[in-house]
């Protein structure tokens, strides 16, 4: 089966299970309050980190460097904000792991290195041969 379809089925099952387990321990009102507060805090922190990533990306562009990590990081922050808006404890955990710069670097260090190595120009010049052609008066008609 497609992995997206499996995730679409398993994530809500996991979230319902966690709602029941955590709700039975701390109560329904506290569970709902916790879900709302993690969504609000997460979205505000995602906005903060997104603006920092955008600022870092612009500084990379000013230095004439490719902002490869910033592109990957921006996509991860957007996905993390989506996960934080979706109610649930598992999605909130993954969202917070993607928002914090330290764990985001751990997740995407290999992807970033591969992306940077593919896009770097190895030589600042183009190799080739040329021939200097002198114009003859006989060739002109």
Give residue limits of the domains in the chain: 32-117
pLDDT range class, residue 114, cuts 50, 70, 90: low
Is the model's pTM score more than 0.85? no
**CA 21 centroid distance within chain:** 31
Element (H, E) at 104: helix 101-119
* Chain segment 16-72, per-residue pLDDT in tens: 999 999 999 999 899 999 999 998 998 898 889 889 888 988 898 898 888 877 888
Residue 75 token pair: 């996509």
* Chain segment 122-131, per-residue pLDDT in tens: 556 667 777 7
């Amino acid at each position: 089966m497609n992995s997206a379809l499996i995730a679409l089925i398993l994530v809500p099952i996991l979230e319902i299970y966690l709602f029941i387990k955590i709700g039975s321990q701390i109560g329904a009102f506290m569970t709902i309050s916790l879900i709302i507060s993690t969504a609000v805090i997460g979205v505000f922190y995602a906005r903060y980190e997104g603006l920092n990533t955008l600022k870092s990306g612009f500084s990379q562009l000013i230095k004439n460097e490719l902002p490869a990590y910033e592109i990957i990081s921006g996509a991860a922050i957007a996905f993390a904000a989506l996960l934080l808006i979706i109610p649930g404890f598992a999605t909130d955990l993954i969202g917070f792991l993607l928002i914090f710069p330290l764990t985001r670097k751990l997740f995407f260090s290999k992807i970033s290195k591969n992306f940077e190595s593919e896009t770097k120009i190895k030589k600042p010049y183009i190799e080739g041969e040329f021939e200097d052609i002198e114009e003859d008066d006989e060739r002109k008609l």
